[in-house]
Amino acid sequence: MASISLSASRFALAGLLLALLATGADAHDTRGTMPQQSSQASIALGELPAQGQRTYQAILNGGPFKHDKDGTVFGNRERLLPSERRGHYREYTVDTPGARNRGARRIVCGGQPATAPTACWYTADHYASFRRIAP
């Protein structure tokens, strides 16, 4: 009797795994990272935190910026943003109230000149995900 229920459990588990694969459910890969997500999710400019709205305005105005790293090249090593030549993307800090360092929030913009980007993305989780900013 125990071997029948063990076989049934294995069969049920295999069926569940196949169902998950068929529906395209996200899963961690063997390195513990999430599969690539689309950078096409969007966020309205007005939905950004107030600090993000100020950073976005500073980008369009060419500054001033508080952090030395603001305006430096963003390498897109995570490959979550559209593929572009090196130097296309620049990153900017979105201050986090109470943080002792730059925090995890950033705006990454692409295009030249930097004051007229073709597109900008917001990340609240230090490049783990991006949402395209819809001005």
Assess whether 47 carries a catalytic annotation: no
Coil vs helix vs strand at 116: coil
The angle formed by the CA atoms of residues 93, 96 and 100, to the nearest 5 degrees, is: 95
CB atoms within 10 A of CB 64: 7
Establish whether 91 is a catalytic residue: yes
Query: Among the options 47, 84, 88, 126, which is catalytic?
Result: 126
What length does the chain have? 135
CB count, 10 Å around CB of 6? 10
Catalytic positions are 91, 126
